[in-house]
Structure 1
């Protein structure tokens, strides 16, 4: 899969996620990261270190005209076999709700970006060495449907668990299955929306 095929897949799969060029770069980067960790190196895209995180030149050139605006996704389609589609959606579902700047901050906190010289390629070796040690990598050593799900320990997760003791934090680090995690996450999102709606009514 070349960079533009990956970009089109992301845009077609997440049309309502406010994907700007900057956000697209980060989603594409993490798609490559975790597909490498999963032992599925089918994404043929290099990312270099730029100020706001990893950037692929082909994606940058194709979409830079949109600036900070969301990229239109209407009419975009890409053919991909089902196993690759399933893997990419599993990866990207865990990142798609984050903003471009939140995703940029994530890359800035991680060694492959921090330890790569400016404008140099972030190597596959650096990616695998770092990310394969993360709890989220355990999801790719098993057939994840119905198996324990290890949460992506993002900056948001660390902020959420900051004041918890170790045992309490660990209870939010792994769930009995990915399906259970999605169910609880969706319920929490609905509760939060209802809370905001209630506040707007009383304001």
Structure 2
């Protein structure tokens, strides 16, 4: 397996939950939706191929992977409890694990609401979301077109607020291919 081999969004969700369980992090269904979205985004930007094939829709709460939402919806707004997945190498290539570790370490610190606010200020979601409409797909093309521009100007206007800007912007972590 390599970065060109797709896994499922469910595999990635289980991996993130396994790491969260190990590290004492909390992931709600809302936060999981955004983590999966941004994992897909930056995989597309860096490797030019999707991480997973599951569709991403523009929901009122931001980008969402419907099958993952429904799988964890019984958790409501509570953190998802999940056990270790076992041997990560059976599911993911070493390149995928390297990428996902880098991604997870950078993004797990954002709250669900910070991730929602970020996605609501970005064109891939804004361009397709229509209140009351369902099943609007956020295309891979829109992600590939928009997110590389953030590498040129890492902190876009209005997010995060100046007093909350990290010393080291999030986006440059993914500024050069990880492979």
Q: Distance in 1 between matches of 2:115 and 2:164?
A: 17
Higher relative helix content: 1
Tell me, yes or no, if structure 1 residue 99 matches structure 2 residue 111. Answer: yes
Structure 2 equivalent of residue 2 of structure 1: 8
TM-score with structure 2 setting the length: 0.76
Q: CA deviation at 1:117?
A: 3.3
Q: If you compute each CA radius of gyration, which structure gives the higher value, 1 or 2?
A: 1
Would you say 1:17 and 2:17 are equivalent positions?
Answer: no
Selected match of 1:132 from 148, 170, 179: 148
Larger CA deviation: 39-48 vs 107-116? 39-48
What residue number does 1:156 align with?
160
The alignment of Structure 1 onto Structure 2 pairs a total of residues equal to: 154
TM-score by length of structure 1 reads 0.67
Match of 1:46 among 35, 40, 55: 55
Within the candidate set 26, 30, 40, 1:32 is matched to 40
The answer (yes or no) to whether the contact 1:94–1:152 under 8 Å persists in 2 is no
Give the distance between the partners of 2:60 and 2:85, measured in 1 at CA.
29
Q: Which runs of 5+ in 1 are unaligned?
A: 139-149, 162-168, 179-203
Query: Which one of 129, 143, 164 corresponds to residue 117 of structure 1?
Result: 129
CA distance in 1, matches of 2:8, 2:77: 24
Distance in 2 between residues matched to 1:62 and 1:70, nearest whole Å: 14
Give the superposition deviation at 1:108. Answer: 0.4
CA deviations 1:128-148 (Å, max 9, x no partner) are 10001112xx7xxxxxxxxxx
Provide the alpha-carbon RMSD of the alignment: 2.5
Higher relative CO (CA 8 A, sep ≥ 6), structure 1 or 2?
2
